[in-house]
Amino acid sequence: MTAVGDIGDRTDRRAVISVLRRLLSPEGQANPLPVWEELRGMGDVVPAPWGGYFVTGYEACSQVLRGRTWLVPDIAWQERQPDPERWHAPATQEMSNALSRLNAPAHTCQRRGLGNLFDRRTLQEMQPDIEDHVRGLLDQLEAGLRDRGVADLVATVSEQLPVRTVGHWLDIPAEHHAHILDFTHRQVFAQELLPTRSDLAVSAEATREMRTFFTDLVRQRRARPGNDVVSGWIRHWDARFPDDRAAADRTLYHLIMFITIASLETTATLLSNAVWFLLRDPGRWNWLRHHPEHIDDAVNEVLRYDPPIHLNSRIAAEHTILAGVPIAKDTMVHVLYGAANHDPRRNPDPHTFSILRRGDHLTFGGGAHYCLGAALARLEARILLTHLLKRFPTLEPAGGPTYAPRMVFRRMTSLKVTA
């Protein structure tokens, strides 16, 4: 596949802008496949209209995520940018201290401190609680279906399970869950590809609420330490910064805040997508009911087919060549997970949803920043599908889903179901 190398070409710029507009439209949100297809048709590495590049091919995306030539856009890079309104905005700056925006050595140090968050033993211990959450949420779904005939799977189940799971794991009382979901949905605007001034203002307010909430959480846990996960992290960072309580608190705030918000919309989208992709073809729901041993395969195909995060950015640490395109040091590239997952050179017949495909995907990223919660997200999806298939054999969609107009973080806002 050829690469488009001429960033000054007006036709190419216009073509890319028009494709991106389509991605933001309701049609593009409902079905981004033609958009990804078109972008990949322009090359493995496609100039972005505002500078930098989109990376569309699987191999090129994998190379960027895993290669040492590529860094995440950290604070030092942001401070070199000529657009302070965007890069110095409070909400953007706040996320710049989070794990996903750190490079080595700070990143390596924090990842080592966390270890493997969801190893086999931890997941086994979490499983009974997740099963309980699922049973409770499906009781509510059943009540909604009984009383009104139709229920919203997103609001009733998919958005609730991740916040209950992570809330329970971090010992955050249920009375705070709605507020956490609310500021998470608003904070994300600053992390979109091209946030407007009003997006940044919405995010700034959400960021203030988020900071107050998680700073209080650390303070309260310090006052009453226990054997919970957060108390363990407090002990770890106090030992690392024995003479600097403020530094320990800053690190703790950013870790807890980021791990919590990174786990919510992403997992909710996976759960909603899983139910939608299985229900929109009635044969699939029924087939999986009779072959529950393939639930994990179904979850993997949902992750490949429609990744909850569409795009992630990296910076060239030095002059380099990517898929034949020379990229100057400090240039930003945007990895398009969905386009990569649908690259026919990696996954033949990529637009066919096939439970038994065992396809490859980059949905959880790759390399040093590989998602820390991948195993937990897969477990939540497996438990939810296992219970749903058993309890609601005749579940059906009552219309198509609706989506928030996003370019980076995909969010299904509603999926009405009936049984």
Task: Find the binder of ligand HEM among 46, 270, 274, 298 (CB under 6 A).
Answer: 270
- Using the minimum distance from each CB to ligand HEM, give the nearer residue, 35 or 372: 372
List phi, psi (to 5°) of 279: -80, -30
Per-residue exposure over 398-408, b if at least 16 CB sit within 10 Å of its own CB, e if not: eeebbbeebbb
Report the distance separating Cα 327 and Cα 320, nearest Å: 5
Q: In this structure, are residues 381 and 282 in contact, taking their beta carbons and an 8 Å threshold?
A: no
In this structure, what token pair is assigned to residue 88? 């110095």
Size of the site for ligand HEM (CB under 6 A): 28
390: amino acid identity, one letter? K
Report the distance separating Cα 29 and Cα 324, nearest Å: 31
- Using the minimum distance from each CB to ligand HEM, give the nearer residue, 4 or 107: 107
CB of 379 to ligand HEM, least distance (A): 9
- Using the minimum distance from each CB to ligand HEM, give the nearer residue, 4 or 56: 56
- Using the minimum distance from each CB to ligand HEM, give the nearer residue, 54 or 258: 258
Q: In this structure, are residues 180 and 163 in contact, taking their beta carbons and an 8 Å threshold?
A: yes
Asked if 231 is part of the footprint of ligand HEM (rule: CB under 6 A), the reply reads no
Asked if 163 is part of the footprint of ligand HEM (rule: CB under 6 A), the reply reads no
Considering only the stretches 23-31, 127-135, 291-299, 302-310, report the one whose residues sit in contact with ligand HEM under the rule CB under 6 A.
Answer: 302-310
H or E element in which residue 413 lies: strand 412-414
Considering only the stretches 183-191, 344-352, 357-365, 398-406, report the one whose residues sit in contact with ligand HEM under the rule CB under 6 A.
Answer: 357-365
Considering only the stretches 6-14, 223-231, 369-377, 407-415, report the one whose residues sit in contact with ligand HEM under the rule CB under 6 A.
Answer: 369-377
The residue behind tokens 């596949």 is 1
Asked if 376 is part of the footprint of ligand HEM (rule: CB under 6 A), the reply reads yes
Q: In this structure, are residues 73 and 87 in contact, taking their beta carbons and an 8 Å threshold?
A: no
In this structure, what token pair is assigned to residue 237? 């960072």
Report, in angstroms and rounded to the nearest whole number, the Rg of the chain calculated over CA atoms: 21
Asked if 252 is part of the footprint of ligand HEM (rule: CB under 6 A), the reply reads no
- Using the minimum distance from each CB to ligand HEM, give the nearer residue, 153 or 376: 376
Task: Find the binder of ligand HEM among 188, 200, 259, 299 (CB under 6 A).
Answer: 259
Q: 311 has which bridge partners? A: 336
The residue ranges of DSSP E strands in 178-249, in sequence order, are none
Cite the DSSP H helix spans in 97-176.
106-114, 120-148, 153, 160-170
Give 230-289 as a DSSP string. HHHHHHHHHHHSTT-HHHHHHHHHHHHHHHHHHHHHHHHHHHHHHHHHHHSSHHHHHHHH
Q: In this structure, are residues 102 and 96 in contact, taking their beta carbons and an 8 Å threshold?
A: no
Report the distance separating Cα 79 and Cα 61, nearest Å: 26
Asked if 272 is part of the footprint of ligand HEM (rule: CB under 6 A), the reply reads no
Asked if 261 is part of the footprint of ligand HEM (rule: CB under 6 A), the reply reads no
- Using the minimum distance from each CB to ligand HEM, give the nearer residue, 4 or 257: 257
Q: In this structure, are residues 26 and 403 in contact, taking their beta carbons and an 8 Å threshold?
A: yes
CB of 309 to ligand HEM, least distance (A): 5
Asked if 309 is part of the footprint of ligand HEM (rule: CB under 6 A), the reply reads yes
Q: In this structure, are residues 274 and 298 in contact, taking their beta carbons and an 8 Å threshold?
A: yes
- Using the minimum distance from each CB to ligand HEM, give the nearer residue, 33 or 106: 106
Site for ligand HEM in 55-84 (CB under 6 A): 65
- Using the minimum distance from each CB to ligand HEM, give the nearer residue, 15 or 98: 98
| Dihedral of alpha carbons 221, 223, 224, 225, sign | positive
Site string for ligand HEM, 179-218 (x = CB under 6 A): ----------------------------------------
Task: Find the binder of ligand HEM among 43, 338, 365, 401 (CB under 6 A).
Answer: 365
CB of 79 to ligand HEM, least distance (A): 20
Residue nearest to ligand HEM (CB): 373
Asked if 273 is part of the footprint of ligand HEM (rule: CB under 6 A), the reply reads no
- Using the minimum distance from each CB to ligand HEM, give the nearer residue, 309 or 417: 309
CB of 382 to ligand HEM, least distance (A): 12
Report the distance separating Cα 337 and Cα 340, nearest Å: 5
CB of 287 to ligand HEM, least distance (A): 23
Residues at the site binding ligand HEM, with contacts judged by CB under 6 A: 65, 99-100, 111, 166, 258-259, 262-263, 266-267, 270, 307-309, 312, 363-367, 369-373, 376-377
